[in-house]
Amino acid sequence: MISKSTIDQVFDTARVEEVIGDFVQLKKSGSNFKGLSPFSEERTPSFMVSPVKQIWKDFSTGKGGTSVSFLMEHEHFTYPEAIKYLARKYNIEVEESVQSDSDKEAAGERESMYLVSEYARTYYQNILHKTDPGKAIGLSYFRERGFTDETIHKFQLGYSTDAWSGLTDTALKKGYKLKYLESTGLSIIKGEKQFDRFKGRVLFPIHSMSGRVLGFGGRILAKNDKAAKYLNSPESDIYHKSKVLYGIHYAKQMIAKEDNCFLVEGYTDVIQFHQKGIKNVVSSSGTALTADQIRLINRLTKNITVLFDGDPAGIRAALRGIDLILEQGMNVRVCTFPEGEDPDSFARQNTLEELKSYLHSNSKDFIAYKASLLMSEAQNDPIAKANLIRDMVTSISKVTDNIQKEIYVRECSRIMDISEAVLFSTLAQLDKKAQSDSNKSYSKKQKAFEVVKTEAPLKKVDIQYQLEQKIIEILLLYGSRTESFEDLIFKEDDKDELVLEPVIHEIKVFEKIFLDLQEDEMQFTNENFKNLYYTIIDSLNQSDDLVIESFVNRLDPILAVDVTNILMNEERYNLHKWEKNNIFPKHKDVSIAQLVSETILTLRCYLIDKKVNEIKEDVNKDEDHRALLEDVLNYSNLKMLLSRKLNRVL
């Protein structure tokens, strides 16, 4: 168990904008920050972070909470892991008791896989640095590649001996289960035999954006024609190679800072660039680039520079990735190295200044790169040139921004020496075909829908839920404020009839709400709101003010999400820039007293209606209607008096 003092220190120190900024590119928006949702595929920002309240809200998925809940959602951390991650980030010493065997057993399946992967990473590192075979073979290989000891430690590189089951046997002795060694791909089981997947290889741990070990890439050192040169961990519940970029954990901050990401092919390319001083670099780990990998970069920057070898294979790989990057609405540049060179070797042979200069001078916009490359292939062949132009226009059609699309058409026209009209016409045909294909697909879906015709019932508005939520919102935002309230006191007039007489008095908002609810014996029907209500009232009774960030941090995670949803609801106006379009949402703090009074009165009226309906049902069961009808009349008179105060016809 982590001590309460450590948890309090973590919450007091951690800044939600800094924590989330490691995973999402945030831009200033008034007093808040906004960015693309990391939980959905979108191209317009719907993700909002409030530094003042220390909370976040994702309007595309409805998720929200604190820095801890973000890590739990995004990185699938448990609560203790999220606390430990933040403690490491802010150099806070974690005080905790020793974990018992039963606690270890209670860890979930995915968590067990993470623990096994972490153990394997430590095991391979120890073999590399503390054993004779590791030093003689593994460490020598890394040093020959030009890696310093500091770099080797930083990237947690390791080595596995050629023994058949070195890791497997040691892990089992340490108490790790064979099922998790197998599910992570570290061990292979065939009948009664079990052996290590990565035996005789140097190891490159593959990390998540937050630094958790997801899997490994292993390079064989001995000459073996039957074994693959590079071998990755197989797909598992924690490792999906199409959604992972090697080096993203080490590169994320510099990618956001430089507003550009260098994309390379291999592990050593990343490490060599990082060691040289260019740290905004990631690798697709030798696999074909995927849309998920591009979206991972898109959270941090809109700009990608693809770096590939100068050989034909490298060039083809660069071309394959360009259209996919463009489809994700990103800007792409391409830089190839001299023939026979790759990013790793070129970085080794040049200084940082020379490397930066080369990248700056040789990084071409995709249109210029692709045109120059294909033109050299087409030469004087008219048919080849026509195919080339068609290929170029196809790439341009992937661009999502219309202004950019037009600029690219003009640039293509200049380079290819062909009229813009022809290019625009071809582009229009491609767009029309894409639209037609989309409509056909939609039509098929519609027909399928009509075959099994199911109409979803309209969702009924829960008025009481909304009013209870409004009361919690008022307490959170204005609970400690003192306001002048006009209360209505029921008095009998000269004709012995009930009338409402106004009385003005000053009182704190939370006290006003508490007294009104107590007077009418009104109870919250939503359990979460009920718990929040008493927690807020208790906090305001003990303190003059409610500090939102510390209050949210102390809440149960489920209640914290409810609070976030309430507090961040109005921030959606900032996302859509309503004020720039001369739409000005009314701010609730114009008249707090009026807002409180109207909310309580509306709830009273709603409950009166509810009570009257209950009485009407009893009328059908009771033979003596007189007493019940008298109750209905009294409630109706009361509702009429309340409606006058609200200035509404109810």
Residues 603, 496, single domain; the answer is yes
DSSP H or E segment with residue 28: strand 27-29
Rounded Cα gap, residues 474 and 54, in angstroms: 18
DSSP H or E segment with residue 353: helix 352-362
Q: Which of 513, 562, 567 is nearest to 537 (CA)?
A: 513
Rounded Cα gap, residues 577 and 18, in angstroms: 24
Report if residue 439 sits inside a domain.
no
DSSP H or E segment with residue 210: none
Report if residue 454 sits inside a domain.
no
Residues 65, 114, single domain; the answer is no
Residues 148, 60, single domain; the answer is no
* pLDDT given at position 615: 62
Residue 637 has pLDDT above 60, yes or no: no
Instruction: Give the strands of the sheet with 364-365, arranged side by side.
Output: 281-283, 261-264, 303-308, 331-336, 364-365
Report if residue 443 sits inside a domain.
no
Overall average pLDDT of the 487-500 stretch = 68
* pLDDT given at position 388: 78
Q: Of the residues 239, 264, 289, which one is the last residue of a structural domain?
A: 239
Report if residue 74 sits inside a domain.
yes
Report if residue 304 sits inside a domain.
yes
Tell me if residue 135 falls in helix, strand or coil.
helix
Q: What is the DSSP string of 391-402?
A: HHHHHHHT---H
Residue 221 maps to which CATH number? 3.90.980.10
| Least confident segment among 99-113, 333-347, 424-438 | 99-113
Residues 548, 638, single domain; the answer is yes
* pLDDT given at position 442: 46
Residues 477, 608, single domain; the answer is yes
Residues 73, 109, single domain; the answer is no
Q: Which is higher by pLDDT, 481 or 312?
A: 481
Cα separations (Å) of 57 from 50, 77, 95? 9, 18, 31
Residue 618 has pLDDT above 80, yes or no: no
Rounded Cα gap, residues 188 and 528, in angstroms: 48
Residues 288, 320, single domain; the answer is yes
Phi-psi category of residue 430: left, alpha or beta, with phi > 0 → left and psi -120 to 50 → alpha: alpha
Between CA 123 and CA 130, with CA 129 as vertex, the angle to 5 degrees is 80
**Residue 328 sits in which domain range?**
248-430
Please state, rounded to an integer, the average pLDDT across all residues of the chain.
Answer: 81
Overall average pLDDT of the 71-97 stretch = 85
Report if residue 453 sits inside a domain.
no
Residue 425 has pLDDT above 80, yes or no: yes
DSSP H or E segment with residue 446: helix 420-451
Is this model's pTM higher than 0.75 or not?
no
Phi-psi category of residue 557: left, alpha or beta, with phi > 0 → left and psi -120 to 50 → alpha: alpha
The DSSP output letter for 459 is P
Residue 303 maps to which CATH number? 3.40.1360.10
Q: In this predicted model, what pLDDT tens digit does every residue of 208-249 receive, in sequence order? A: 988 899 999 999 998 877 788 889 999 999 999 988 999 999
Provide, rounded to the nearest whole percent, the portion of the chain with pLDDT above 90.
Answer: 28
Tell me if residue 15 falls in helix, strand or coil.
coil
Rounded Cα gap, residues 520 and 601, in angstroms: 11
Confidence of residue 644 (pLDDT cuts 50, 70, 90): low
| Least confident segment among 290-294, 561-565, 639-643 | 639-643
Residue 22 maps to which CATH number? 3.90.580.10
Query: According to the per-residue pLDDT averaged within each range, which of 89-98, 152-161, 490-499, 571-580 is highest?
Result: 152-161
Rounded Cα gap, residues 48 and 612, in angstroms: 43
* pLDDT given at position 130: 96
50 Cβ neighbours under 8 A, 6+ residues apart: 16, 31, 32, 56, 57, 567, 568, 571
Q: How far is CA 472 from the centre of its chain?
A: 27
Query: According to the per-residue pLDDT averaged within each range, which of 310-319, 479-488, 582-591 is highest?
Result: 479-488
Residue 177 has pLDDT above 90, yes or no: yes
Detail the DSSP E strand segments found in 45-173: 47-50, 55-58, 64-65, 158-160
Residue 428 has pLDDT above 60, yes or no: yes
Residues 267, 409, single domain; the answer is yes
Residues 81, 107, single domain; the answer is no
Q: Of the residues 384, 411, 430, which one is the last residue of a structural domain?
A: 430
DSSP H or E segment with residue 525: none
Residues 118, 49, single domain; the answer is no
Residues 180, 213, single domain; the answer is yes
Q: What is the DSSP string of 596-650?
A: HHHHHHHHHHHHHHHHHHHHHHHHTT-S--HHHHHHHHHHHHHHHHHHHHHTS--
* pLDDT given at position 437: 60
* pLDDT given at position 450: 46
Rounded Cα gap, residues 196 and 168, in angstroms: 6
Report if residue 75 sits inside a domain.
yes
Structural domain count, the chain: 4
* pLDDT given at position 326: 87
* pLDDT given at position 445: 44
Q: In this predicted model, what pLDDT tens digit does every residue of 15-48 receive, in sequence order? A: 999 999 988 889 888 888 999 888 887 778 889 9
Q: Of the residues 43, 61, 89, which one is the last residue of a structural domain?
A: 89
Residues 403, 281, single domain; the answer is yes
Rounded Cα gap, residues 436 and 443, in angstroms: 10
Phi and psi at residue 34, to the nearest 5°: -130, 160
| Least confident segment among 173-177, 427-431, 528-532 | 427-431
Q: Which amino acid is at 433?
A: K
* pLDDT given at position 478: 87
DSSP H or E segment with residue 589: none
Report if residue 441 sits inside a domain.
no
Overall average pLDDT of the 596-614 stretch = 76
